[in-house]
Amino acid sequence: MLEIKIRPLARKDLVEIWRYTAKTWGQPQADLYVTNISTQVSKLADNPTMGRSVDEIFTNCRLYPCGRHILLYQVAHQSLEIVRVLHQSMDVASQPLA
């Protein structure tokens, strides 16, 4: 299993996802949804090629769907780095990575 690293923007994304979900569907659902994202990240750390390469958008990045969101990640130096966690309706190419 690769070491999991979560970049600052991805952490911010997760906080915003939790807040929105808690406000809309309640705290238990927000906890469950973010836990599901965490579970999917762990699966990616075990099998990092599960996601689709998006080199045409961002060099060395991959996308993996997770619920209504997309995990944007990179594999580097024996680690899986979560770059962003974006809603599926967002234009991934227009989002900052740092």
Q: Which residues, including other chains, have CB under 8 Å from residue 24's CB and lie 6 or more apart?
A: none
Reported as a single tens digit per residue, the pLDDT across 1-41 is 999 999 999 999 999 999 999 999 999 999 999 999 999 99
Asked whether residue 96 carries a pLDDT value surpassing 90, the answer given is: no
Q: Domain extents for the chain?
A: 3-92
Rounded to whole angstroms, what are the CA distances from 71 to 5, 26, 39? 13, 23, 12
Question: Would you state the CATH architecture of domain 3-92?
Answer: 2-Layer Sandwich (3.30)
Q: What is the pLDDT of residue 95?
A: 87
Reported as a single tens digit per residue, the pLDDT across 40-89 is 999 999 999 999 999 989 989 999 999 999 999 999 889 999 999 999 99
Instruction: Report the candidate in 24, 18, 7 with the shortest Cα–Cα distance to residue 69.
Output: 18
Can you give the length of the chain in residues?
Answer: 98
